[in-house]
Amino acid sequence: MSLLLSTDPHLLAHDPGHATRQIHPERPERLAAVIERLEQAALPDTSWRRAHAPASRAVLERLHSSAHVDRVLAAAGRTVQLDPDTGTSPASVDAALRAVGATIDAVEAVVGGEVERAFVLARPPGHHAERDRAMGFCLFSNLALGIEHARRALGIERVLVVDWDVHHGNGTQSLFYERDDVLVIDSHEHPQYPGTGAVDEVGRAQGAGHTLNLPLPRGTGDGDALALYSAVLPAVADRFRPQLVAVAAGFDAHVDDPLGGLSLTTAGFASLCALVRDVADRHAQGRMLMTLEGGYDLSALADSVLACARVLAAPTIEPALPGGAASREAAGLLAAVRARHGERWRIPTLDPTDGRGARSRTA
Ligand SMILES: [Zn+2]
């Protein structure tokens, strides 16, 4: 089987707007729209798993502090505001635990060879949750906990993370910031919530050089995003040699999204996904784990998830090369990234004038 789609009806019961009695952007209808669109599409070579046990405390405490786990678990059955943006309803803690459980099950299916790729359709999202706090609609760091399970329990030694959500994945970055076994590439709008993700945040101690940030100016579209990823991703993967590729797949960088200011299209997300899958195919025996993060326009979200799922379910792919020229801003951003990372990853330059995107100069 090529693709596993993982979800759980309990994930729809979480309502972060319960306390304020307002419609919260991270509302249950997001996941319902995604599931409906995928069910209608009936993708070939795709299986569903729709029931997952809640994650255990031991799994959570691999990356979160006991105090954080205590605080979240104490909100079970209650309406609590964990952070200005992050509220719970009575069913939220159960949903958060099952979102992690679904991610753990998915990574076991991928690494165990049951499927090649898995897309975890979960909420609450996870990439803002830090070791000691819930933040930005996120209670636990779902994808990071899945990665940590692959590292500690499944024999995976190196994991490459791509985070293309419009917001910087501060949680994922901070949890792996001092480690060289998990390499994080994160593109995001800047300035934008939560304010982290500068080019000079490159990792620390043993993790130095293993965090690469691509802060994108408002309005950035498919051409620059694909040109940047085409330059960075294959170069880094060639040297890092990941055994698993993990994607924090938010779709709030879509041009129609009400929260984000970037201008990616549904087709752009499909091309980005193909680029990542190509890296997983070449380095990680196809092993790829995606988790749903943001995305707040229901049509753009459902269309983009389906476009990515088509790429993940296909027997083979031909990654699209960036069509247009990279802008001067994108070329300048890549130059800044190259300057911070030196020759470690041999990232090529982008030439804004030749219209072909990444070139193979490494000097
Ligand atoms: Zn986001």
User: Could you report the per-residue pLDDT of 136-193, keeping only the tens digit for each?
Assistant: 999 999 999 999 999 999 999 999 999 999 999 999 999 999 999 999 999 999 999 9
51 alpha carbon, distance to own chain's centre: 22
Residue type (1 letter), 120: V
- Report pLDDT digits (tens) over 224-247: 999 999 999 999 999 999 999 999
CA distances (Å), origin 77, targets 25, 52, 74, 114: 22, 19, 8, 35
Residue type (1 letter), 104: I
Closest CA to 10 of 99, 107, 134: 99
CA distance 94 to 216: 35
Ion ligand 1, residues whose Cβ is below 5 A away:
165, 167, 250, 252, 294
Distance from the alpha carbon of residue 168 to the mean position of ligand 1, in angstroms? 7
With cut-offs at 50, 70 and 90, classify the pLDDT of residue 325.
Answer: confident
Distance from the alpha carbon of residue 155 to the mean position of ligand 1, in angstroms? 30
Distance from the alpha carbon of residue 271 to the mean position of ligand 1, in angstroms? 19
Distance from the alpha carbon of residue 141 to the mean position of ligand 1, in angstroms? 14
CA distance 122 to 55: 13
Q: Which pTM value belongs to this model?
A: 0.96
43 within 8 A of 309, measured Cβ to Cβ: yes
Distance from the alpha carbon of residue 260 to the mean position of ligand 1, in angstroms? 8
- Report pLDDT digits (tens) over 206-221: 999 999 999 999 999 9
Distance from the alpha carbon of residue 23 to the mean position of ligand 1, in angstroms? 17
199 alpha carbon, distance to own chain's centre: 18
Distance from the alpha carbon of residue 166 to the mean position of ligand 1, in angstroms? 5
In 179-252, where does DSSP find H-type helix? 222-240
CA distance 174 to 22: 31
Residue 363 has a pLDDT of: 38
Mean pLDDT score across all residues of the chain: 95
List the catalytic residue out of 14, 24, 68, 128: 128
> Residue 10 catalytic?
no
CA distance 353 to 182: 34
